[in-house]
């Protein structure tokens, strides 16, 4: 299974790596997780994804085209 995770903004690489490790720990074995960030945005709260719906939708459509099986909107 391939899981796409959309963040409502950008994270430093170290924080993104920690989040990736956390997903690896909690998802089913064999699940590949890829993190997508809404670019040019700062992460504040997950609700901000509503304000970024156009960008988030574009990412979701791209993930679908790339064959991802599921999508998660991460609240960080």
- Which tens digit of pLDDT belongs to each residue from 50-73? 667 788 889 999 999 999 999 998
Alpha helices in the chain (DSSP H): 13-26, 53-65
Over pLDDT 90: what percentage of the chain? 55
Residues 50 and 52: their CA atoms lie apart, in Å, by: 5
Residue-wise pLDDT for 22-54, tens only, equals 999 999 999 999 999 888 776 566 666 666 778
Residue 47 DSSP symbol: G
Q: Determine if residue 60 is left, alpha or beta; phi over 0 gives left, psi from -120 to 50 gives alpha, anything else beta.
A: alpha
Task: Give the C-alpha separation, 68 to 20, whole Å.
Answer: 16
């Amino acid at each position: 299974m391939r899981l796409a995770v959309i963040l409502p903004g950008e994270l430093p690489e170290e924080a993104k790596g920690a989040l990736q490790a956390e997903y690896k720990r909690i998802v089913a074995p064999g699940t590949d997780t890829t993190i997508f960030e809404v670019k040019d945005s700062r992460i504040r709260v997950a609700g901000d994804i509503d304000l970024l719906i156009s960008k988030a939708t574009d990412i979701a459509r791209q993930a679908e085209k790339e064959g991802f099986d599921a999508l998660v909107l991460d609240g960080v």
